[in-house]
Amino acid sequence: MELGLAGRRVLVTGAGKGIGRGTVQALHATGARVVAVSRTQADLDSLVRECPGIEPVCVDLGDWEATERALGSVGPVDLLVNNAAVALLQPFLEVTKEAFDRSFEVNLRAVIQVSQIVARGLIARGVPGAIVNVSSQGSQRAVTNHSVYCSTKGALDMLTKVMALELGPHKIRVNAVNPTVVMTPMGQAAWSDPHKAKTMLDRIPLGKFAEVEHVVDAILFLLSDRSGMTTGSTLPVEGGFWAC
């Protein structure tokens, strides 16, 4: 399926690792021009070596002022992938203010800020665009020790719908992808305990976790004109977890 992404300028946050890195690699392979945003310079340096021509931007999206300085003059962007997130896991009775603030700063507030920058540019240029927010299966199902994380993703799903409502008249589509556990290095480390993994896998009809490319394929579809009549959706990439 031809996605028509060649030549499009795409900004990807959380680009240094996991889903974000896989998205940058896939976009680069299609001929898209990619702005890769990460808070870790070493990750960006290695990504530039892998994908010559991408534009690296090193900034902590939890810092509003620094983000404005780094991205306020980023130039024309056609497509956006809001992937950056933190997962600070604590039992509900032990949730700290620091974990709460950091989680909502990165997982929700940064999505608003970066999306505003990109959407304002699209509207000023009078061109259509697409935004994909990387959410989670935990946005709609409770997961032990994930009270803050699940809350940020539930909020992100609703933000996606409101953004779609308000930006639709400007021909900007906004969707979310909602993956299960993804076998990134971080996912492998977090779910390496067979007993812990079994508790989740038993809730997934397909009986397996997602690979990075499963999520990347969904993101690229939602960025492309092939999904031109889709906006405000939350696309599950979770092996049937929500069906149970």
Q: What is the pLDDT of residue 51?
A: 98
Cβ atoms of 11 and 79 closer than 8 Å: yes
Q: What is the pLDDT of residue 189?
A: 80
CA distance 129 to 119: 8
Q: Is 169 a residue whose pLDDT tops 90?
A: yes
Within 10 Å of residue 196's Cβ, how many Cβ atoms? Answer: 12
Within 10 Å of residue 120's Cβ, how many Cβ atoms? Answer: 11
Q: What is the pLDDT of residue 244?
A: 83
Lowest mean pLDDT among 45-49, 166-170, 182-186, 198-202: 182-186
Domain limits, the chain: 9-235
Burial status of residue 72 (CB atoms within 10 A of its CB: 0-12, 13-18, 19 or more): exposed
CA distance 214 to 240: 14
Q: Is 1 a residue whose pLDDT tops 80?
A: no
Helix (H) or strand (E) holding 42: helix 41-50
CA distance 66 to 141: 34
Superfamily of domain 9-235: NAD(P)-binding Rossmann-like Domain (3.40.50.720)
Q: What does the block give as tokens for 20?
A: 């974000």
Over residues 9-20, the pLDDT tens digits come to 999 999 999 999
Q: What is the pLDDT of residue 133?
A: 98
Mean pLDDT of all residues belonging to the chain: 96
| Mean pLDDT across 196-207 | 94
149 noted as active-site residue: yes
Q: What is the pLDDT of residue 35?
A: 98
> Using CA atoms in the order 179, 19, 152, 159, what is the torsion angle rounded to 10 degrees?
-80
Q: What is the pLDDT of residue 192?
A: 85
Over residues 94-128, the pLDDT tens digits come to 999 999 999 999 999 999 999 999 999 999 999 99
Cβ atoms of 212 and 220 closer than 8 Å: no
pTM to 2 decimal places: 0.96
CA distance 36 to 223: 16
- Choosing from 8, 71, 119, 149, the catalytic residue is 149
Cβ atoms of 38 and 81 closer than 8 Å: no
| Mean pLDDT across 191-205 | 92
